Structure 1
Amino acid sequence: MYSYEYPRPALTADCIVFAHADDGIRVLLVERGNEPYKGCWAFPGGFMNMDETTAEAARRELREETGLDVGAIRQLGAYDRVDRDPRGRVITVAYMAIVDDAGDVCGGDDAHDARWFPLDSLPPLAFDHDKILADACRMAINPSTGQLKSMG
C-alpha cells in the first residue's frame, strides 16, 4: 500500500433526476437515513467505490437508494466548496437525468424514503444541493417554455 504525503479528499457522486408530470416538473429526492442531515432531503448519491467511475457511482447510488434505473445521464459538474460536507473534505460530481414520467420509487440502502416532489414545492435540501439544483435547472429547463429539454 502506498502512503501519500498529502491528505486526499473523499469523492461522491449525486444524481439529479427530473420527470415530466401532468402537474409540471418533478424532482426525485431521498430522505437521508444517516447523519449528517439525517431526516433531511437530498439527491440520491454517495461515496464512489475504488473500482468505479463517478458516472457508475451515480447510477449505482440512484438504484440502491430509489430502485430507479435511468437511461442517459449527463455530468453537471464538480462541487468542491471546502465546507460542503460536515464529515470532512468531500467533493461531489453531480449528474442529471430526465425521465418521461415519475414512476414508483422507494427508499433503500441508507435512504429512509424516496419521493418525487414538484419542482415548485421542494423541502429544504441537505448539503449544497440547492446550488446543484439551480445549476441543473439552468441546464435542463428551457427558459422560454419552462419545459424540460431533451437529453439528446
Structure 2
Amino acid sequence: MKFKSTPNRCIHHEGEEIWISRSVTVLPVLFFVSKGIRYVPLGKRGEDLPDGVGQWGLPGGYLDYDETATQAVYREVWEELGLDIPQLLEDFRFEGDLTHPYEVYSTPLRRQNVTLKYPIMFYVDEAELPRLAPQVSQGEVVEARWFELKAALKMPLAFNHHEVMEECLNRYYAIDMRKY
C-alpha cells in the first residue's frame, strides 16, 4: 500500500528529543472473529520506540500532517501489522466505525495530547485469520501475533491496552467479557 502523508519528524535539541507532529494519535481497537472465537492482533514493540519496549500492544500512532484520522488508522494497521483494511472491508463482514472514534481521549500523557479510539471488528467466519506481516523495521515492531481475546485481556499490555480493549467491547459493542 502507498500513503501520501508526510511523516512526523524527531529532532534532538540540547539533549532533548522533540517530536514535530500534530500531537494526535489514532488507536484502532481491532478484533477478529473466526470460527466463533474472538482474536486480537498485537505487535511487540521494538527497541527504537521511546516507550513500552518489549511489550505487546495494539497498533497505533501519530496522525501525520496531511492525512485524515481514518487514513492514519489504515496506515498504522498496515505498517504495524501488515493488514490491509480496505481489502478486509471487501472480503469480510465489518462492525465498527472507521470515520468516527468511539472515544476522544484528551489527557496530555507522554507525547500526545489527544488519542482517537476506533472500534474495528471483522467477522472472518470459517476463513483463516489473515497473515500478519509488519511493514516497519523490527526496531519498531519486533513481531506481530494473533492472540485469543480472553488471553490478551489478561496480559500486561503496553499502555494498558487490555483495559482499552475491554472498554471498547463494553461501551461500543455491548460485550461484557467478564461473562466469558
TM-score (norm 2): 0.66
Residue 78 (structure 1) aligned with residue 104 (structure 2): yes
Kindly tell me: are residues 141 and 30 of structure 1, through their superposed partners in 2, closer, same or farther at Cα, counting changes over 3 Å?
A: farther
Task: Note the alpha carbon deviations across 1:123-147, whole angstroms, 9 max, x for none.
Answer: 211114233212211123545xx79
Identity %: 26
What is the CA–CA distance in structure 2 between the aligned matches of 1:9 and 1:89, rounded to whole Å? Answer: 8
What is the CA–CA distance in structure 2 between the aligned matches of 1:137 and 1:93, rounded to whole Å? Answer: 16
Aligned positions, number: 136
Q: Please tell me the residue identity of whatever aligns with 1:44.
A: P
Structure 1 consecutive aligned stretches of length 4 or more whose deviation exceeds 4 Å? none
Q: Please tell me the residue identity of whatever aligns with 1:99.
A: F
TM-score (norm 1): 0.76
Structure 2: tracts of 5 or more residues without a match: 1-20
Structural RMSD (CA): 2.5
3-state DSSP of counterpart to 2:135: coil
Instruction: Give the counterpart of 1:103 among 130, 150, 159.
Output: 130
Task: Note the alpha carbon deviations across 1:69-119, whole angstroms, 9 max, x for none.
Answer: 222651221122333x3xx34321111211223211123312221111111
Q: Please tell me the residue identity of whatever aligns with 1:108.
A: Q
Aligned positions of 1:39-118 closer than 5 A? 39-70=54-85, 71=89, 73-74=96-97, 75-83=101-109, 85=110, 88-101=111-124, 102-109=129-136, 110-118=140-148
- The answer for the alignment partner of 1:26 in structure 2 is 39
Kindly tell me: are residues 79 and 20 of structure 1, through their superposed partners in 2, closer, same or farther at Cα, counting changes over 3 Å?
A: same
More helix by share: 2
